[in-house]
């Protein structure tokens, strides 16, 4: 008898469990990983309700080098990846960067959240 028959597989499909992850209770910038990084880093954050999200990246002189803005995102834990390039697609230099996470609730009370953190690009 073949151990991969449909009779053997069917009971396993009926045993499938769906586990839900609780939604975040607050806005939070969870940091970036890895840090220091080369060539990409992932910026992680949580939002407790449908929100408009923006992430801006600045060099040490305060000049904006990259921005992701006006993302409507549902409640949950999210992440976005930055590849170390500016708005024109050119690789930026090795240095310290500041990233700013901003979120505005689109449902319920119009909460606003903003937090910044440092990251280091090393080539």
Task: Give me the CATH topology for the region 22-121.
Answer: Immunoglobulin-like (2.60.40)
Helix (H) or strand (E) run with residue 13 in it: helix 6-14
**Contact criterion met (CB below 8 Å) for 60 and 96:** yes
Q: What is the pTM of this model?
A: 0.81
**Contact criterion met (CB below 8 Å) for 42 and 84:** no
The whole-angstrom separation of Cα 105 and Cα 123 is 37
Q: What is the pLDDT of residues 27-63, one digit of tens each?
A: 999 999 999 999 999 999 999 999 999 999 999 999 9
Distance of CA 20 to the CA centre of its chain: 19
7 vs 87: which has the higher pLDDT: 87
User: What are the residues facing 51 on neighbouring strands?
Assistant: 73, 105
Angle made by CA atoms 68, 72, 76, in degrees to the nearest 5: 100
The whole-angstrom separation of Cα 112 and Cα 123 is 35
Provide the percentage of residues in the chain whose pLDDT is more than 90. Answer: 76
Sequence ranges of the domains in the chain: 22-121
**Given a cut of 60, is residue 96 above it in pLDDT?**
yes
**Contact criterion met (CB below 8 Å) for 116 and 64:** no
Residue 21 has a pLDDT of 75
CA distances from 29 to 7, 14, 37, 64, 89 (A): 48, 39, 18, 19, 25
**Given a cut of 60, is residue 76 above it in pLDDT?**
yes
């Amino acid at each position: 008898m073949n151990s991969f028959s449909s009779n053997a597989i069917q009971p396993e499909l009926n045993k499938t469990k769906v586990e839900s992850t609780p939604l975040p209770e607050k806005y939070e910038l969870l940091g970036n990983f890895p840090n220091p990084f080369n060539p990409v880093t992932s910026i992680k954050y949580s939002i407790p309700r449908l929100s408009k999200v923006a992430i801006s990246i600045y060099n040490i002189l305060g000049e904006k080098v990259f921005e992701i803005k006006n993302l409507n995102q549902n409640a949950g834990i999210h992440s976005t990846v930055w590849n170390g390039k500016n708005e024109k697609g050119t690789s930026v230099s090795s240095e310290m960067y500041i990233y700013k996470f901003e979120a505005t609730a689109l449902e319920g009370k119009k909460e606003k959240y903003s937090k910044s953190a440092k990251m280091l690009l090393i080539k």
